[in-house]
């Protein structure tokens, strides 16, 4: 499985959690079930009738889904969606444009991927060099605060970037 970080082994052991791109429909569905459990079950977001216990929207087919997997159990314990600039251009919008005024960032926004994330991944993105693009926006539909985050591709190491591009081209 491709990982987005190479954590150092601790005392000869691999870290308990790993980050990977959801390649199979099963992994994407696991991410959507986790989003449903968090947003609808824990935070009180409105569920869509007939959602089958999966939180998904218009952007899901266009996004890359990152998952955090507990290596011991195999469970998906965290998730993040990435909408690349190329896919956003084909789609005609970014996820973030629904909640943030990106007018002044139009040129920059088209050059960077947009992310929709949950808090445990924010620290990981910041460690990679991402930055927060401003104040959070309240999303009443999901009863949550959303942050616009930027992660320049130049900050992702070459091997990780190649894996990400190859996986996208294969899809």
Q: Which of 124, 27, 95 is nearest to 67 (CA)?
A: 27
Which CATH number does 17-170 carry? Answer: 3.40.630
Average pLDDT over the chain, rounded to an integer: 75
pLDDT > 50? residue 28: yes
- pTM, rounded to two decimals: 0.58
Q: Which two tokens stand for residue 81?
A: 């969606």
Lowest mean pLDDT among 4-8, 69-73, 92-96, 149-153: 4-8
Digit-coded pLDDT (tens) for 129-168: 777 777 777 777 766 677 777 777 677 666 555 555 555 5
Report which of residues 41 and 6 the model is more confident about: 41
The mean pLDDT value for 24-53 works out to 89
| Residue 3 DSSP code | B
pLDDT confidence bin for 24, thresholds 50/70/90: very high
Note the pLDDT of residue 10.
53
Q: Quick one: how many helices (H) and strands (E) in the chain?
A: 5, 8
pLDDT confidence bin for 29, thresholds 50/70/90: very high
Digit-coded pLDDT (tens) for 46-83: 877 778 899 988 889 999 898 888 989 999 998 988 88
The mean pLDDT value for 23-42 works out to 92
Q: What are 79's strand-pairing partners?
A: 67
d(C-alpha 28, C-alpha 158), whole Å:
25
């Amino acid at each position: 499985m491709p990982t987005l970080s190479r954590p150092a082994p601790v005392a000869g052991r691999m870290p308990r959690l790993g980050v990977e791109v959801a390649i199979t429909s099963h992994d994407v569905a696991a991410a959507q079930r986790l989003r449903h459990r968090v947003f609808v079950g824990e935070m009180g977001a409105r569920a869509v009738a007939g959602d089958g216990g999966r939180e998904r929207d218009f952007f899901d087919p266009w996004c890359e889904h990152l998952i955090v997997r507990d290596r011991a159990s195999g469970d998906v314990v965290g998730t993040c969606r990435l909408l690349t600039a190329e896919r956003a251009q084909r789609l005609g919008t970014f996820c973030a444009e629904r909640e943030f005024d990106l007018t002044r960032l139009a040129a920059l926004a088209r050059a960077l991927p947009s992310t929709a994330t949950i808090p445990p991944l924010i620290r990981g993105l910041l460690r990679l060099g991402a930055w927060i693009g401003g104040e959070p926006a309240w999303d009443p539909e999901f009863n949550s605060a959303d942050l616009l985050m930027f992660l320049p591709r130049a900050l992702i190491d070459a091997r990780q970037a190649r894996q990400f591009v190859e996986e996208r081209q294969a899809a």
